[in-house]
Structure 1
Amino acid sequence: MPTSQPEAAGPSEDRATPDDLLHTRTGTEVSAEDVVLAAGRDLTPRNLEWARRKLESEGPAALEKLLP
């Protein structure tokens, strides 16, 4: 009978994140904060302004372009 290992009970680092957690859903509003975080940037006034401009020019697709 195998013994349980504590580290085996936690999430594995080599598991892929499901697509439904990576991509926006149809009908959801995309905020400047979403774009900043998807770009891996800090939430600063400068980055939020960059994200607002990006959303104005690209629309909600701006977020999809940043996600894998």
Structure 2
Amino acid sequence: MTTSEPEASRSAGGPTPDSLLHARTGTEVAPEDLVMATGRDVTPKTLEWARRKLAAEGPAAMDKLLP
């Protein structure tokens, strides 16, 4: 490991802490972000799907897609 890696990301042979596995930064999730996280193309149809999903689930919709 290089010295530029944060101390918290270094493993002592154990599992990676859960707090380091999550990708979401706590910022707002845009419908485009949700569509791209699924690997789909950004189209009017997929954007509408993402808007409905975000309205129903909020930012947790992204947490369900990404670790």
TM range (shorter): 0.5 to 0.7
Structure 2: 5+ residue stretches without partners: 1-19
Identity %: 60
Query: So what's the TM-score if we normalise by structure 1?
Result: 0.64
Count of aligned pairs? 48
What displacement does 1:25 show? 1.1
What amino acid is aligned across from residue 23 of structure 2 in structure 1?
Answer: H
Distance 1:40 1:66 in 2: 10
For each residue in 1:1-39, what CA deviation from the matched residue of structure 2 results, as whole angstroms up to 9, or x when unmatched? xxxxxxxxxxxxxxxxxx57x61112x010000000001
Other-structure match for 2:66:
67
Distance 1:46 1:52 in 2: 10
Structure number, greater radius of gyration:
1
SS class of match (1:65): helix
- 4+ long deviations beyond 6 Å: none
Other-structure match for 2:23:
23
What displacement does 1:40 show? 0.7
Structure 1: 5+ residue stretches without partners: 1-18
Query: So what's the TM-score if we normalise by structure 2?
Result: 0.65
